[in-house]
Amino acid sequence: MPIYNIDSETMPREGIEAIQLKRLQTTIERIYVTVPFYKKTFDKAGIKPSDIKSLDDLKRLPFTTKLDLRDNYPYDMFAVPMENIVRIHASSGTTGKPTVVGYTKRDIDTWARLMARCFAAAGGTSGDIIHNAFGYGLFTGGLGVHYGAEKLGASIIPVSGGNTKRQITIMQDFKPTILTGTPSYVLHLAEVADEMGVDFKNLYFKSGIFGAEPWSENMREELESKLHLKAMDIYGLSEVIGPGVAIECYEEQKGLHIFEDHFIVEIIDPETQEVLPYGETGELVFTSITKEAFPVIRYRTKDITSLNPEPCICGRTHIRMNKPSGRTDDMLIIRGVNVFPSQIESVLMETKQILPHYQLLVDRKGNLDSLTVKVEIDEELFSDEIKTLQTMEQKISNDIKEYLGVSAKVMLVEPKTIERSEGKAVRVIDNRKI
């Protein structure tokens, strides 16, 4: 058993819940007196810290949203004085001001331990060399992974995103065994390796830890066969701590184990805000119970998934979340049909000769929405007759209609014509919003 698979990951439900309740009560008592926002919202809901007597009482507390964080920009949600803050990160978001998060020394240590546990779950040990292609900076990916790798005692290569050719040379020379990055950037790494005549088969990777954006099961197959490694999904968000909230295990790769000794998870119906039972799909909500500087209570993530409480073959007893399908604000509504980019990805990748690079364009003419799916195909096919391409476009369009119920125009394009990202991919261009 790896050193970081500590007892709390395998303890029976009652044990986890007892820890959660104690930590929740401590957090609520503290923030009631240190964060005016929470005092105000708890008072408004008529709840005092002493009312939290069981985990069920969590339901009585109000939700926190991104808008609340924006209203308290930049530091008003912090629960400690600025002299105790040692690190600040921010997530950009698409509109308006970024969301700012702070960490105390102890928070940085908690985060590093959580990330070390992620590595351990993904098969990592102190003997591993980790090639970290997550971006370093205000984004939590780079530094979060970095500190976790050091905590594990592994060797970290802080390459960050970009400078892609040099990354391939580093992979050949430094012999890293674990690769971390966004799935879209990692695919670009594979593409550049191919151009350089480097086959991942001859590199040294055993595990890949990919996240920060949704990716489908079909994308996992693509990544595993191209990169010759086992691909694990990692989930997290700046507001909750960064990467290290949940990860798939090496043994099963099915559902992401949530570190429940640090976070309480709920799934709600995004419309009615009612808490949903295990197995039902809805919006993920997190409460942090060990953070000092920036605790969040019932934070609405906008991420859509479901929970699975079954213990895993790896021995972990923590609740698993299924792979998120996307965010409520990324969901496209095309002529009344709801569809996530990751669902389109799944359909696209069922077709041979399609490359895993695509973009969705949404337009509105009059009152009618239209969806165009631009996807790259391999060179050989692209030089085929127009008629062959048209038949293929029609077939994919039919598949999308059949599986997802949405009409889409499919445009097959030449390889490398869709812009590559060094971090999170831009999957949707919504011209209705311009």
Q: Both tokens of residue 296?
A: 């969040």
CB of 45 to ligand DLL, least distance (A): 25
User: Cβ of residue 18: shortest distance to ligand DLL, in angstroms?
Assistant: 29
Pick from 278, 253, 248: nearest CA to 265: 278
Query: For residues 194 and 329, which CB has a smaller minimum distance to ligand DLL in the complex?
Result: 329
Site for ligand DLL in 7-36 (CB under 6 A): none
* Cα–Cα nearest to 378, from 414, 332, 327: 414
Q: How far is the CB of 182 from ligand DLL (least distance, A)?
A: 7
Tell the smallest beta-carbon distance from residue 323 to ligand DLL (Å). 7
Kindly tell me which of 32 and 188 has the beta carbon lying closer to ligand DLL: 188
> Quick one: which of 70, 87, 254, 327 contacts ligand DLL (CB under 6 A)?
327
> Least distance in Å: CB of 89 to ligand DLL?
8
Which residues inside 174-233 make contact with ligand DLL, applying CB under 6 A? 211-214, 233
Quick note: the x/- pattern for ligand DLL over 239-258, rule CB under 6 A, is ---xx---------------
| Cβ-based nearer residue to ligand DLL, 42 or 340 | 340
Of the two residues 314 and 425, which places its CB atom closer to ligand DLL in the complex?
A: 425
Contact at 8 Å (CB) between 276 and 268? yes
Phi and psi torsions of 76, nearest 5°: -70, -10
> In the stretch 286-315, what mask flags binding to ligand DLL with x, by CB under 6 A?
---------------x-x------------
Asked whether position 238 contacts ligand DLL by CB under 6 A, the answer is yes
Closest CA to 87 of 55, 114, 109, 66: 109
> Closer to ligand DLL at the Cβ: 134 or 263?
134
Cis before 74? omega within 30: yes
In 3D space, the residue among 334, 342, 336, 339 whose CA is nearest the CA of residue 362 turns out to be 334
Contacts of 214 (CB under 8 A, 6+ apart): 323, 324, 325, 326, 340, 341, 342
Residue 281 near residue 304 (C-beta atoms within 8 A): yes
Residues in contact with 197: Cβ distance below 8 Å, sequence separation at least 6, in sequence order: none
Shortest Å, Cβ 382 to ligand DLL: 30
Q: What is the C-alpha to C-alpha distance for residues 108 and 52, in angstroms, rounded to an integer?
A: 28
Closest approach of ligand DLL to the CB of residue 183, in Å: 9
Q: Of the two residues 66 and 420, which places its CB atom closer to ligand DLL in the complex?
A: 66
Size of the site for ligand DLL (CB under 6 A): 21
Member of 4, 38, 204, 235 binding ligand DLL (CB under 6 A): 235
Cα dihedral sign, 364-366-367-372: negative
Q: Phi and psi of 2, rounded to 5°?
A: -65, 150
Q: Is 55 helix (H, G, I), strand (E, B) or coil?
A: helix
Residue whose CB is less far from ligand DLL, 321 or 408: 321
Select from 123, 161, 176, 236 the one that contacts ligand DLL (CB under 6 A). Answer: 236
Choice from 42, 78, 103, 134 touching ligand DLL (CB under 6 A): 134
Residues 139-178 contacting ligand DLL, CB under 6 A: 139-141
Q: CA of 54: how far to CAs of 22, 58, 71, 200, in Å?
A: 9, 8, 30, 51
3-class DSSP assignment, residue 325:
coil
Where do contacts with ligand DLL occur on this chain (CB under 6 A)?
Answer: 91, 134, 139-141, 211-214, 233-238, 242-243, 301, 303, 324, 327
